[in-house]
Chain A
Amino acid sequence: MSDLGSLFLYIGRHFSTEVYLVSSKIQGLIWSAADVVLVLAVLKIAELARRKCGMGKPFVRYGLLYGSLLLTPLLLFTGTPREFFYLESAICGAQFAILLYTVITERNRILDLVLRGVSRTG
């Protein structure tokens, strides 16, 4: 029995659904927190760019982000991997939808803002 084969067999015997769910909840909370910070940073940058053009805050996207933030702690209360997946789909789905919409609709404004930022470095 090779060492690697034994390792796979050990994982196959002991990495239970319960262990998977607990580790998923821990990881899910940590990466969802990262996603919230990341989407917030992108929205703040977009807000700066929109202000330059005389536009207001992207309220709907902030609302979606805060909604996903409220859902995140519920990951702890999921009882099965499938429930975890449903909730994670809602949370990450909203966050990725915000990012996707923002890069598509704000790309030129954000690029303009960054170009101005670069021109001020010299």
Chain B
Amino acid sequence: MFLLAKWMALFWTFAEAVILLYVRWGYFTLKKEEANQKSILIVSSLLFVFLIIWIMGPEPAVERLFGLPEAHALTFYRWGVWNFLCTLWVVLEGSIMIYVVRIYGILASRVQKKRGRWATLIALTLFAFFALFEGAFLTAALSHGMDTGHIYRVSLFYIRICGLLWILFEWIVAVYGIKTYSLLKGRGGSPP
């Protein structure tokens, strides 16, 4: 991964995580419920520090880990890291989407049914998909003797799968953003 990609990866992760924390804080404040924000903030900060060390630090000796030839293993590892980051951004955007839709629900006076843990479900599903994809990909790479070109192209394909989810989640947030603005504008004409 070249240096700009590393910095941008960390910036996007930081920005999306901060936005998620604020949207979550807003949602629980609106519901007048305890957000448990302090512990979430500590865990998120620790995870982010770990991510910085992982991304910016020296590359681990992966050439013997995967049972692939050295160049193939490095390619597989580097693209695996990037695909993990892509998955992480989809998870963060999916979680932001859940809270934005809920905030709109409160504003629109929808009856607040008991909420499921949708953000957690999205995270678990997507990380499980990433793990299964990479596992099956490694098995295929080993059994079919894939070269670095094959590994590169399959990894690019995974990014495009993530791209479909970015589009879906971001358009949902965009539409709910406009709906929320329209509601607030309609109600905000005069002082309460």
Contact = CB atoms under 8 A, between A and B. Distances in A.
19 contacts: A1-B144, A5-B144, A8-B150, A15-B157, A17-B153, A20-B156, A24-B159, A24-B160, A37-B175, A38-B173, A81-B156, A92-B12, A111-B29, A114-B30, A116-B188, A117-B107, A117-B184, A118-B106, A121-B108
List the 3 closest pairs (A to B, CB-CB), nearest first. A12-B150, A41-B177, A8-B140
A30 B150 contact: no
By secondary structure, the A interface counts as helix
A44 B159 CA distance: 32
A121 B109 contact: yes
By secondary structure, the B interface counts as helix
Interface in A17-55: 17, 20, 23-24, 27, 30-31, 34-35, 37-38, 41-42, 44-45, 48, 52
Contacts of A23: 160, 163
B28 to A, nearest CB: 11
A86 B5 CA distance: 9
Contacts of B187: 116-117, 120-121
Contact of B184 (A81, A100, A113): A113
A15 B173 contact: no
Interface string B154-192: 101101100110110011011101101101110110001
A12 B12 contact: no
B146 A118 contact: no
A11 B106 CA distance: 45
A107 interface: yes
Interface residues of A, number: 54
Interface stretch (B13-21, B58-66, B115-123): B13-21
Nearest to B108: A121
Interface string A53-80: 0000000000000000000000000000
Given A11-B154, A85-B4, A118-B106, 4 more contacts: A5-B144, A24-B159, A38-B170, A122-B109
Nearest to B21: A103
B39 interface: no
